[in-house]
Amino acid sequence: MNNSIPLKNINKEDWLLWQFADSALPTGGFVASSGLEVAVQSGYVKDNDSLLLFLSSSIENYAYSALPFVTDSWQIISPTSNNGDDDEALIFENIIKLDCLYESCTSNVITKRASKAQGVAMLTLFSKSFSEEFSNDNEGKRNIGDRIIDKFKFEIRKENAFGHLPVTFGLVSKCLGISLERAQHLFLFFFSRAALSAAVRLNVVGPYYAQRILTECHSYVETSLEKTCNIKANDAVQTSPILDILQGRHDRLYSRLFNS
């Protein structure tokens, strides 16, 4: 019996990853174009080459600016965290600090809005779909995660916290037992997929070609991760000033399909 436990956990992680990768996962990502809509309407993305350039720069920018918050957030609940109240208060304080830091580091209101909407959706998803299953499992870790996520949601409702996606994503993946490496990959996969699904709906590429490009994005994600997987939130940076400007203009579009 003892031997079967690690095996069971590995399978569970894989299964969860498939669930997370499924586009039916209700995290509200379908309203976000990752900045593609405004880039298309502004004439920045107009053909395949410019689409690839957009994807490689925006994936790298996201890896430098948002991924460090996933990494830090994932690491806040450590394996030694127990159920002590002191520990829990400290963990919660660190999560709120990280959430506030992301807010200060993101000047762009559209990026902020998309991040908050999807971040809160991630917490709701956890509470509604995953928390009960794990609440009595594996003493300690998951219980503390459940409680912290509930408290986080409460503070967001009271407008004392923001619930930014990179922070909630790191937290939820940790609570579900997803490894840091996989959480980091998944986070950038989500971003790439959102951009490509938007590309199809914006009629920039067809659905088959979109899958071909999504395969291409794997190398962008790998190259970006090599450089950014160890960056702390305090050292997060922006690497694409033009995309930042364009994204900031999203609400000025005369007609638009997406929220960001």
Which residue number, 41 or 118, has a Cβ lying nearer to another protein?
41
4's CB contacts (< 8 A; 6+ apart) are none
CA gap 256, 48 in Å, rounded: 21
Which parts of this chain interact with another protein (CB under 8 A)? Answer: 38, 41-44, 46, 53, 56-57, 64, 101, 104-105, 107-109, 236-242, 244-249, 252-254
Longest dimension (CA), the chain: 62
Which residue number, 44 or 169, has a Cβ lying nearer to another protein?
44
Nearest distance in Å: CB 47, another protein: 11
CA gap 72, 147 in Å, rounded: 19
Nearest distance in Å: CB 237, another protein: 4
CA gap 51, 142 in Å, rounded: 41
Nearest distance in Å: CB 165, another protein: 18
Q: 105: how many CB neighbours lie within 10 A of its CB?
A: 17
First to last CA, the chain: 49
Encoded tokens for 103: 């807010």
Nearest distance in Å: CB 44, another protein: 6
Our CA angle for 210, 198, 62, nearest 5°, is 95
> Residue 23 has what DSSP assignment?
T
Nearest distance in Å: CB 226, another protein: 11
212's CB contacts (< 8 A; 6+ apart) are none
58's CB contacts (< 8 A; 6+ apart) are 34, 35, 191, 195, 240, 243
Which residue number, 133 or 235, has a Cβ lying nearer to another protein?
235
Nearest distance in Å: CB 64, another protein: 7
Which residue number, 23 or 107, has a Cβ lying nearer to another protein?
107
